Chains A and B, each alone.
Chain A
Amino acid sequence: MSTPRVISRGATTSSELDSDYKWGFTIDIETDLAPKGLSEDIVRLISDKKEEPEWMLEWRLKAFRHWVKLDQEEPKWAQIHHPPIDFQDIHYYAAPGSKKGGPKSLDEVDPEILEAFEKLGIPLAEREKLAGVAVDAVIDSVSVATTYQETLEKAGIIFCPISEAIKNHPDLVKKYMGSVVPYTDNFYATLNSAVFSDGSFVYIPKGVRCPIELMTYFRINQADSGQFERTLIIADEGSYVSYLEGCTAPARKKSQLHAAVVELITMDDAEIKYSTLQNWFPGDKDGNGGVYNFVTKRGKALGRNSKISWTQVETGSAITWKYPSVILQGDNSVGEFYSVALVNNHQQADTGTKMIHIGKNTKSTIMAKGISAGKASSTYRGLVKIMPSAEGARNFTQCDSLLIGDQCGAHTVPYIEVRNPTAQIEHEASTSKVSDDEVFYCQQRGISVEDAHFMIINGFCRSIFQELPFEFAMEASQLLKVSLEGAVG
C-alpha cells in the first residue's frame, strides 16, 4: 500500500500571515458565495442550492428556529477563551465553481482544485490516486471529487457526498441523520444542522468488510466562511470499515469557524474505526488567526457485539473543542477513544470523550495523551457514565500529560457517574516533563536535542499511534514534529 499523504512537504505557500504552517496557501478559484449572515432565507438558499427534498429543508428549518431560541448562548463550560463570534459576519455557503450539482466526474473538476489537492499530497486523478484509499475531497462546503467509486459500488458500499445521499438514499439518511446527534444536542450541532452544506456519507452493507480505507479530506479555502460539514457512517450487521479524515486550511488573519457533526452507527457485530489527523491552521506564533474547531462527534454502538473506535491526532486549530463519544447501547458492545492532542504557542484544546454504557457487559477504553508547549493550554475532559441497565460494564481510562517549557498548562477533568454496582472503573493519570536526564542520555548517543525531544514525545504517543493505520501513523509522527518546531532545542 502506498502512503496516503496528509502532509505535503515543500509545498509553496502564499498566505496572509507569516507562519511556519506549510499548508497555509490559498487558491484562486471561482466561488459561489452566499451573502454573509444567517437567516431563514440563507437556510432556504443552501437547501435550494443543494436541490434538496422538502423534508430536508424542514429539518434544517427546525434546527435553525431552535438555534435562534438559544440566543447565541454558546457553551461556556469548556476551558477555552476567545472573543465573541459574530455569527452574522460569516459566509454560510461557499462552493467552488458555479456549476449546479457539482462535477459529475474528475474531468469536470477545476484543474486549480486538482492542483491544490496535489499540493496537499492528495492526488485525485485516476492515474495517480492513492493506492488502497478511497478519497472524498471537500473544499469549503462542497465535495469536489470522490475516488474509487466503482470498486466500492461493486461491494455494495456507498461512499458519496452527503448531499448526494440525501437525494439518492433518502430512507437511510432520514432514518439515521440526527439519530445520534439530535439537532437540539448543543449550540454548534444545532448550527450545523441548519446550515451544513456537505460532508461524507458511508453505508457498509451486511457482512461486508470494506476492502480499502475510506478517507475524506477537508479543506477550507474561502475567507470569512465557516465550514459546516456533516458525516454519517452506517455499518450494517457484521460489517467493518476504517475511515480516515484529514484537514487543513489557509493561514488567515481572522479566525474561521469549523463546526462539524459526525454520526456513526454500528449494527450487530459491526465495527467502525474512525481516525482523524486534525491539522487546521493553528494561528501564528502570537495567536493571530487560526481555526475554531467546535465539533460534535458521536457514535452509537447500537448492535450486540459492535464496536466503535475513535483515534484522533489533534495538532491544528487555534481552539479545539471536541469530545468524540460512544453510546454503548448493544450488549457486549465496545467503545474506544485514543487521542493525542498537541498544543503549542497560543493554541487551546479542550477535548476528551464520553462513554455512555447502556447495554450489558459493555466495555470502554480511553487513552488520552496531551502535549503542551509554548503558552498553550490543554484540557482533557471526559465522562464515563454507567446506566442502571449496564450490568457488568467496564471502563479503563488513562490520561497522560506532557509539558514542554514552563509557560504551558495541562488539566484533566474526569467525570465518572456509576449507577450500577457491578461496574468496574479504572482511572489512571500522570503529568510529566521531558527531563534533562532523558535528553542528555540521547545526546550522549549522538542524537541532537531537538531529535531527542521528538523521540521522547513520539514514545509518549506510541500507544496511540499504534491504533492508526500504519501510513497514517507515520504522517501523524511527522505532523507532531512540524507542530513542535521552535518549541524545543
Chain B
Amino acid sequence: MAGKDQTNGEPILSVRNLHVNVGDQEILKGINLTVNAGEVHAIMGPNGSGKSTLANVLAGKPEYIVTAGEMVYKGQDLSRMAPELRAREGLFLAFQYPVELPGVRAWQFLKAAVDALRVHQGQEEMSAREFDQMLKEKVALVEIDPDLVRRSVNEGFSGGEKKRNEILQMAVLQPTLALLDETDSGLDIDALRIVANGINQLRNPSNAMVLVTHYQRILDYITPDYVHVLLDGLIVRTGGADLALELEAKGYDWIKETAGAGA
C-alpha cells in the first residue's frame, strides 16, 4: 500500500479482498484496507462508488452480504459478530441518515448504549448521577443544545442537529474505531467546524477513524493520515492528505482516467 511510511500503532482493522452484494448486485469488488491505532483515513469517491456500503457492511447492516474476503477487527472475524456485539467491542458508525425513534428520549437511548457497553466489559451499569455529569461534559464538547438530549432521538431535529447528535454519541461511547458516513454532508460551514472540532478532540493514539466523504472540505479541518479513492467498488488510489486536494482540483474524472480502463 502506498502513502505515508511512518509506522503507527497496532492494527485495528484489516480488510482483505472484500466482496459485498446488495441483492444480486455486487457493490464492493475486492477491497483491501488496513487501519492502525492513531490513524485517520478518509475514503473518497463519487456517488455510487460503494463508500457507504463499506461503512455499513463493517457495522453489520443485515442487507449487505459478504460474498468473499474477510474483515478482521481487533483480531476477530467481524462477519461472525452480531451488529450489537461489534458495537460493544468499540466499533461505531455515525449514520449518514440518523434514524428517528419517536418517544425514546435521547439521554435514555444513550444510557442504554453506555450500559450495554459496560455490562459487556464486565462493569456495573453507570449510576444516573455519573451519567448525567458525563453527558453534560460531552454536550459541551460537541456544542449541542442541551435540550436535545431531553427530546426523542432525532425526532424533529434539523439535519445539522442529527449529525451533531451522532458525534455526541461517539463522544459518549468513545469507540476504538469510528466510521463516519458522510457526516459532513448537509452541514453549513459553522456546523461543519463544530463537528470537525468534536472529531479532532476525540482523536487519540489508541483509536482510529474512517471518514467517508464526498467532498474535500471537511479535510480542511481534519487532517487524514491516508486518503483512499473508491471507484466502482475498488480502492484505486491511496495517498496522503495532499491527494484530497489534488482530487478537489482535478475532479474524479482525473482518477478515472489515471486508474485506467482496466479498473
8 tightest A-B CB contacts, nearest first: A459-B103, A459-B104, A446-B116, A462-B103, A445-B113, A441-B99, A446-B87, A443-B83
A447 neighbours in B (Cβ, 8 Å): 84, 112-113, 116
Q: Measured between C-beta atoms, what is the minimum distance from B120 to chain A in Å?
A: 7
Task: Determine whether the beta carbon of A440 is less than 8 Å from that of B103.
Answer: no
Give the docked Cα–Cα distance between A241 and B120 (Å).
Answer: 45
Task: Determine whether the beta carbon of B98 is less than 8 Å from that of A445.
Answer: no
Give 9 pairs: A residue, B residue, CB < 8 Å, sorted on A.
A443-B84, A444-B87, A445-B116, A445-B169, A449-B84, A456-B101, A459-B103, A460-B102, A463-B103
A458 neighbours in B (Cβ, 8 Å): 103-104
Q: Which of A438, A443, A456, A460 has the most CB of B within 10 A?
A: A443
Contact segment of B59-67, B129-137, B139-147, B186-194 = B59-67
Task: Determine whether the beta carbon of B95 is less than 8 Å from that of A441.
Answer: yes
Give the docked Cα–Cα distance between A234 and B154 (Å).
Answer: 44
Q: Measured between C-beta atoms, what is the minimum distance from B61 to chain A in Å?
A: 6
Give the docked Cα–Cα distance between A446 and B109 (Å).
Answer: 10
Asked if B93 lies at the interface with its beta carbon under 8 angstroms from chain A, I say yes
Task: Determine whether the beta carbon of B169 is less than 8 Å from that of A459.
Answer: no
Bin chain A's interface residue count: 20 to 34
- The contact string, 1 if C-beta is below 8 Å from chain A, for chain B 95-137, is 1001101111000111011001100100000000000000000
Task: Determine whether the beta carbon of A445 is less than 8 Å from that of B62.
Answer: no
Asked if A482 lies at the interface with its beta carbon under 8 angstroms from chain B, I say no
Q: Measured between C-beta atoms, what is the minimum distance from B43 to chain A in Å?
A: 18
> B residues engaging A (CB < 8 A)?
59-62, 82-84, 87-88, 92-93, 95, 98-99, 101-104, 108-110, 112-113, 116-117, 120, 152, 169, 173
B83 neighbours in A (Cβ, 8 Å): 440, 443-444
A446 partner, pick from B84, B95, B98, B152, beta carbons under 8 A: B84
B169 neighbours in A (Cβ, 8 Å): 445
Asked if A88 lies at the interface with its beta carbon under 8 angstroms from chain B, I say no
B62 neighbours in A (Cβ, 8 Å): 436, 440
User: Beyond A441-B95, A442-B101, A455-B109: 18 further Cβ-contacts under 8 Å?
Assistant: A438-B99, A442-B109, A443-B83, A445-B109, A445-B110, A445-B113, A446-B113, A446-B120, A447-B112, A448-B116, A451-B112, A455-B101, A456-B101, A456-B104, A458-B104, A459-B101, A459-B103, A461-B103
Asked if A417 lies at the interface with its beta carbon under 8 angstroms from chain B, I say no
Q: Measured between C-beta atoms, what is the minimum distance from A291 to chain B in Å?
A: 29
B82 partner, pick from A441, A443, A461, beta carbons under 8 A: A443
Task: Determine whether the beta carbon of B88 is less than 8 Å from that of A446.
Answer: yes
Q: Measured between C-beta atoms, what is the minimum distance from B125 to chain A in Å?
A: 13
Closest-by-CB residue of B relative to A438 is B99
B92 neighbours in A (Cβ, 8 Å): 444
Contacts A444-B59, A444-B83, A446-B120 given; indicate if A455 touches B102 (C-beta within 8 A).
Answer: no
B120 neighbours in A (Cβ, 8 Å): 446
Q: Measured between C-beta atoms, what is the minimum distance from A400 to chain B in Å?
A: 10
A443 neighbours in B (Cβ, 8 Å): 60, 82-84, 87
A445 neighbours in B (Cβ, 8 Å): 87, 109-110, 112-113, 116, 169, 173
Q: Measured between C-beta atoms, what is the minimum distance from A439 to chain B in Å?
A: 9
A446 neighbours in B (Cβ, 8 Å): 84, 87-88, 113, 116-117, 120, 173
List which A435-481 residues lie within 8 A (CB) of chain B.
Answer: 436-438, 440-449, 451, 455-456, 458-463
